[in-house]
């Protein structure tokens, strides 16, 4: 049975990817420092798949602990690297925290992979590397703009670190640039669990609908878009997780066409904030309390993907639509409210 290491595997996208990997017959080991997730996610994964993944609480910025982990766990066939801080706003307030964590985690990981002859990595990147795109939809050939936040900059630098390492070693890598992952597993046993006040739109919507937040602030309706609010390419986290299984399969079966491949992962559709709110009200039956306020610094007005390359090369296409994304988020919000009362 092929063994895959998932760093950040108790996090939102990581946990959904663990489920899909286990259901495809992979043995999974999770390492996570639990800075933005809880160990109970391991049990939730086991409840969904019937298989409890190995879990080790490790901080990848601790090079000794990381090396010791690889000493102990041999025969790892590939790594999917999710572990990173990802709050755009927080990264502006505390850039060093982001550079230290996101860069040293990757550097320590790559050092250990090299030492232990582990040559396959799938990296969790983001459409944030494109900044405000010159043209839409965005393809992988679009220019990488100066990052709008230290978070986005760490994603760009990590892509460069992997690119340069691939050139001078036997590392084979796939960079996956996510657009906006939302939604939750249909079991409602795993989902997005932001600690504190959510930065992202969907958890803020569901927390407002359930009464945890009093009102949703819509950051600006004076953008050059059909209804004035920002457009984003939302994709279901389960569709996204499935893409990771295809990507790691591709590397393990040596089907990749070059040592470094890059794929956009989105649906190709852009929805505005107001369209998302309207769709949420439709699928949940809840009237959402919101108000239009000032723009949020760093927001791009619109971005959505051209994921032709992933369709063609990976045979991957997002299957779940906005209704299913939002109804699964709502089901998850109701579940966590029942269990955390
Ligand atoms: C979406 C839209 C906001 C909250 C970020 C990262 C990206 C990825 C996803 C990690 C924007 C509006 C939001 C709110 C609002 N993260 N909004 N009120 O900023 O597109 O992307 O998260 O990989 O890398 O950059 O996502 O959900 O924060 O915002 O009006 O309370 O919703 O202005 O237009 P974003 P988001």
pLDDT tens-digit readout, 271-301: 999 999 999 999 999 999 999 999 998 889 9
Instruction: Say if residue 172's pLDDT is above 90.
Output: yes
Once rounded to an integer, what is the mean pLDDT over residues 101-116?
98
The 10s digit of each residue's pLDDT in 54-73 is: 999 999 999 999 999 999 99
The CATH class for the domain spanning 3-184+234-267+304-319 reads alpha beta
Rounded-to-integer distance, Cα 33 and Cα 10, Å? 9
pLDDT at position 304 is 98
- Residue predicted with more confidence, 17 or 131: 17
pLDDT at position 87 is 87
Active site residue 151: yes
Once rounded to an integer, what is the mean pLDDT over residues 179-200?
93
The 10s digit of each residue's pLDDT in 150-164 is: 999 999 999 999 999
Rounded-to-integer distance, Cα 159 and Cα 165, Å? 10
pLDDT at position 196 is 86
| Closest ligand 1 atom to 205 CA | 31
Instruction: Say if residue 341's pLDDT is above 60.
Output: no
For the Cβ of 201 lying below 6 angstroms from any atom of ligand 1, the answer is yes
Rounded-to-integer distance, Cα 229 and Cα 209, Å? 20
- Ligand 1 mean position, distance from CA 34 (Å): 23
pLDDT at position 293 is 98
Nearest CA to ligand 1 atom 32: 201
Instruction: Say if residue 195's pLDDT is above 90.
Output: no
Once rounded to an integer, what is the mean pLDDT over residues 117-146?
95
> What ranges make up the beta strands (E) of the chain?
3-7, 27-32, 54-57, 78-81, 120-126, 172-178, 180-182, 216-219, 231-232, 234-236, 260-265, 271-272, 290-293, 302-303
User: How far, in Å, are 54, 207, 250, 328 from residue 4 at the CA level?
Assistant: 11, 34, 13, 27
Q: Which of the following is catalytic: 98, 151, 223, 234? A: 151
pLDDT at position 88 is 85
| Domain locations along the chain | 3-184+234-267+304-319
Once rounded to an integer, what is the mean pLDDT over residues 187-197?
91
Rounded-to-integer distance, Cα 289 and Cα 308, Å? 37
pLDDT range class, residue 105, cuts 50, 70, 90: very high
What residues are paired with 124 via a beta bridge? 176
162, 123 Cβ separation under 8 angstroms? yes
267, 233 Cβ separation under 8 angstroms? yes
Instruction: Say if residue 340's pLDDT is above 70.
Output: no
pLDDT range class, residue 263, cuts 50, 70, 90: very high
Rounded-to-integer distance, Cα 189 and Cα 54, Å? 18
- Window from 95-99, 128-132, 318-322 with minimum mean pLDDT: 128-132
pLDDT at position 297 is 83
Mean pLDDT of the chain: 96
For the Cβ of 218 lying below 6 angstroms from any atom of ligand 1, the answer is yes
- Ligand 1 mean position, distance from CA 32 (Å): 24
pLDDT at position 298 is 81
Q: What is the DSSP letter of 59?
A: -
- Ligand 1 mean position, distance from CA 94 (Å): 18
- Window from 188-202, 215-229, 276-290 with minimum mean pLDDT: 188-202
């Amino acid at each position: 049975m092929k063994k895959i290491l998932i760093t950040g595997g108790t996090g939102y996208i990581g946990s959904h990817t663990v489920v899909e990997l286990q259901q495809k017959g992979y043995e999974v080991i999770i390492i996570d420092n639990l800075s933005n997730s809880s160990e109970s996610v391991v049990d939730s994964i086991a409840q969904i798949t019937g298989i409890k993944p190995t879990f080790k609480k490790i901080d990848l910025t601790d090079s000794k602990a990381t090396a010791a982990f690889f000493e102990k766990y041999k025969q790892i066939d590939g790594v999917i690297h999710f572990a990173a801080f990802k709050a755009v706003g927080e990264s502006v307030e505390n850039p060093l925290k982001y550079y230290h964590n996101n860069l040293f985690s990757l550097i320590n990981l790559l050092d250990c992979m090299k030492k232990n002859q582990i040559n396959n990595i799938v990296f969790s990147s983001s459409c944030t590397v494109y900044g405000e795109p010159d043209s839409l939809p965005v393809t992988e050939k679009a220019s990488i703009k100066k990052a709008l936040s230290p978070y986005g900059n760490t994603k760009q630098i990590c892509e460069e670190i992997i690119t340069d390492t691939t050139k001078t070693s036997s590392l084979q890598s796939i960079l996956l640039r996510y657009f906006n992952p939302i939604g939750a597993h249909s079991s409602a046993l795993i989902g997005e669990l932001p600690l504190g006040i959510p930065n992202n739109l969907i958890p803020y919507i569901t927390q407002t609908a359930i009464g945890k937040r009093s009102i949703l602030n819509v950051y600006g309706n004076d953008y050059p878009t059909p209804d004035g609010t920002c457009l984003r390419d939302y994709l279901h986290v389960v569709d996204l997780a499935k893409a990771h299984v295809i990507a790691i399969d591709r590397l393990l079966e040596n089907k990749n066409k070059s040592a470094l491949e890059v794929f956009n992962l989105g649906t190709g559709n852009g929805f505005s904030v107001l369209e998302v709110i309207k769709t949420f009200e439709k699928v949940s039956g809840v009237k959402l309390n919101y108000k239009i306020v000032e723009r949020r610094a760093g927001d791009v007005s619109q971005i959505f993907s051209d994921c032709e390359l992933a369709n063609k090369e990976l045979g991957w296409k997002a299957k779940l639509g906005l209704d299913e994304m939002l109804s699964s988020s709502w089901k998850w919000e109701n579940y966590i409210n029942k269990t955390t009362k």
